[in-house]
């Protein structure tokens, strides 16, 4: 709900959409449609921070609905890589700032440096279900 409000959807519109979409569709479908439209808008402008924000909201919607989030996590990583590339960086290093213990898969990747091109091609992140690893410019 709060996610939708942030995207400029009024209470009235929400109630109307709820009535219109139910019972065949859920509010999540409406949220998804709104986010998808916003994503297209920011993606056209190559607004990487904007894309990042939309993907985070998409993750939240999927998590609430108990759906698989891997494809959005991958899209988020891809956005980070393209953002770094647009800033003129050529290489990234995989880092993990989380205090939690890392799994073997993540542990093997942390500290690894590669070209952004290779990272985009091989997409090593997310390495596991709870992966907290990130790319940073090397
Ligand atoms: Zn990881």
Quick: pLDDT tens for 93-134: 999 999 888 999 999 999 999 999 999 999 999 999 889 999
Give the structural domain span for 1: 1-67
Going from the Cα of 98 to the center of ligand 1, the distance in angstroms, rounded, reads 9
Question: Between the CA atoms of 29, 30, 35 and 41, what dihedral angle is there, to the nearest 10 degrees?
Answer: 120
pTM: 0.76
Residues 98 and 43 reside in one and the same domain: no
The per-residue pLDDT for range 35-82, each reduced to its tens digit, is 999 999 999 999 999 999 999 999 999 988 899 999 999 999 999 999
Distance in Å, CA 71 to ligand 1 centroid:
15
Q: How far is the CA of 95 from the centre of ligand 1 (A)?
A: 8
Q: What is the DSSP string of 57-95?
A: HHHHHHHHTT---HHHHHHHHHHHHHHHHHTT--EEEEE
Query: Quick one: 101 and 47 in the same domain?
Result: no
Within a domain: 6? yes
């Amino acid at each position: 709900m709060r996610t939708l409000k942030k995207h400029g959807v009024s209470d009235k519109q929400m109630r109307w959409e709820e009535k219109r979409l139910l019972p065949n569709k859920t509010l999540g479908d409406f949220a998804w449609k709104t986010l998808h439209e916003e994503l297209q808008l920011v993606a056209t402008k190559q607004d990487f921070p904007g894309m990042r924000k939309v993907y985070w909201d998409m993750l939240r919607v999927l998590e609430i609905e108990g759906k698989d989030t891997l494809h959005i996590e991958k899209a988020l990583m891809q956005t980070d890589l393209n953002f770094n590339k647009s800033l003129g960086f050529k290489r990234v290093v995989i880092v993990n700032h989380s205090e939690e213990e890392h799994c073997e898969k993540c542990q093997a990747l942390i500290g690894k440096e590669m070209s952004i091109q290779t990272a985009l091609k091989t997409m090593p992140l997310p390495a596991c279900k709870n992966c907290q690893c990130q790319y940073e410019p090397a």
